[in-house]
Amino acid sequence: MKAVKITDGIYCLPVNLESYQLFEGMWPMPNGISINSYIVQGDKTAIIDLVEDTDGKPAELEAEIHSIPLDQKNIDYMIINHMEPDHTSWLPEFYRKNPQLQFYLTGKAAGLLKSFCGIEENVHIVKDGDTLDLGQGKVLSFHETPNIHWPETMMTFEQSSGTLFSCDAFGSYGKLERVFFDDRLSTEQHTFFSNEALRYYANIVASFSTFVTRGIEKLSALDIKVIAPSHGIVWRENPKQIIDSYARFAEYMNGPAEAEVTVIWSSMYGNTEKLVSNIVQGVRKEGLPVHVHRVPDEHVGILLASAWRSAGLILGMPTYEYEMFPPMAWVLDMFRRKKVLNKKVLRFGSAGWSGGAQRELDKLTEKLKWEFIDPIEWMGAPGEHELDLALSQGQALARQVKDFCSK
């Protein structure tokens, strides 16, 4: 792949991770993901972030640098927005090939640069609002955006073009192939990247939503014409769209989210499963969209996006040895970690010789500010009473969601 020109002197260098890999070692990405580095050229040349040192990806980045054309030995500055290894693990080798390279990063990032890469020389600490003049009108300004999503994170703004190099903010899953900008996407591709932005947000950024809101408010003072994230497409036709999307995703934490219901269920021998259809029918009677996911068939990284977007959750799980069915316990623990807050919730499930799933669920979610309606629990196989209750309680949960979202 060749470097992709954004505007005069500014290039995107996308390298794709493949779909068989797990992002951060745990998140499925069926359509892969891009890792984007950027070159900004004036009289001096800066590179913004690098690539993960895996599967020959550094060689791909080197080829893109040479396609500009540019020799990496002639790169003067390394701007480090974020020290996570998917952007920096190749940095020691890159520095070895260019020992005159000067690093610009936040104070917290400098500590991580030493601990991850063993680099202490040529390090320049920048503070919020500091600038670096590259010549020929290219001026970089640095803006600290801590905890989006590591505490050392910053964003870099090129003033003449209005390009914001936003690091892990405003990103998405999905490889970049042939189409790199929002104004070149088909309707289907646009929908794909919008959906993958939500899933990426729910997996990677969700628990830092308060800091996302603060960061967006802080960046509002900039005249942003292009959003150039570290993952996903470059937004140059309508950068406000992805900013507004992230603002909306962040608001879901405090609620209400969208007037939708996500059903997540798991069943050992089919007894809990028998209520799923009636539960869904009950929600649909109130006219709400409903999304159904089975665990462990679907990875928590997939269903997190649905749960984050939905104001209502319905959780189906049997009791297993006095506690929650383990695949569902993992899902609920991840919801706790990702701060899936302020939901209207119904739980249903069977038990063999005793209950206990609801008790563990209450304890695990006590800090998530969930409001439960009465659960549906039974011993053994469900009867007509449970089937009727599933319909009525699904409908009741949907009514609560509608009331919650209309306030």
Region(s) of the chain under CATH 3.40.50.360: 258-406
Q: How far apart are CA 72 and CA 132, in angstroms?
A: 19
Question: Which pLDDT belongs to residue 19?
Answer: 83
> How would you class 277 by CB atoms within 10 Å of its CB: exposed for 0-12, middle for 13-18, buried for 19 or more?
middle
Give the pairing of strands 319-320 and 323-324. Answer: antiparallel
Question: Which pLDDT belongs to residue 353?
Answer: 84
Please name which of 354, 332, 352, 351 lies closest in space to residue 343, comparing C-alpha atoms: 332
Contact call for residues 94 and 119 (beta carbons, < 8 A): no
Q: CATH for 4-251?
A: 3.60.15.10
- Bin 25: left if φ > 0, else alpha if -120 < ψ < 50, else beta: left
Contact call for residues 115 and 84 (beta carbons, < 8 A): no
Tell me the sheet residues that pair with 348: 316, 376
Which DSSP category does 181 fall into?
A: B
Q: How far apart are CA 112 and CA 118, in angstroms?
A: 9
Which DSSP string do the residues of 151-179 spell out, in sequence order?
A: TT-EEEEETTTTEEEEETTT--SB--SS-
Report the run of H or E that residue 326 belongs to, with start and end: helix 326-337
The whole-number mean pLDDT for each consecutive block of 10 residues of the chain, a chain of 407 residues, reads 96 93 93 97 98 94 97 96 96 96 98 96 97 98 96 98 98 96 96 97 97 97 97 97 98 97 97 98 98 97 97 97 95 97 98 90 95 96 97 98 94
Q: Model-level pTM? A: 0.95
Please name which of 278, 296, 166 lies closest in space to residue 218, comparing C-alpha atoms: 166
Q: Kindly state the tokens that stand for 281.
A: 């029918």
Please name which of 186, 191, 187, 181 lies closest in space to residue 232, comparing C-alpha atoms: 181
What class is the 258-406 domain?
alpha beta
Q: Residues with Cβ < 8 Å from 166, sequence gap 6 or more? A: 155, 227, 228, 229, 230
Which DSSP string do the residues of 234-293 spell out, in sequence order?
A: BB-S-HHHHHHHHHHHHHTTTS--EEEEEEEE--SSSTTGGGHHHHHHHHHHTT--EEEE
Which DSSP category does 79 fall into?
A: E
Q: Which residue has the tokens 């302020």?
A: 342
Region(s) of the chain under CATH 3.60.15.10: 4-251
Q: Which residue has the tokens 């939500």?
A: 198
Which DSSP string do the residues of 198-242 spell out, in sequence order?
A: HHHIIIIIGGGHHHHHHHHHHHTTS---EEEESSS-BB-S-HHHH
Question: Which pLDDT belongs to residue 1?
Answer: 85
Which DSSP string do the residues of 335-372 spell out, in sequence order?
A: HHHTT--S-EEEEEEEESS---HHHHHHHHTTTTT-EE
Q: How many CB atoms lie within 10 A of CB 258?
A: 16
Q: How far apart are CA 210 and CA 206, in angstroms?
A: 9
Give the pairing of strands 22-23 and 27-28. Answer: antiparallel
Contact call for residues 328 and 296 (beta carbons, < 8 A): no
Residue 215: HSE in the Cβ half-sphere, 13 Å Cα cutoff = 31
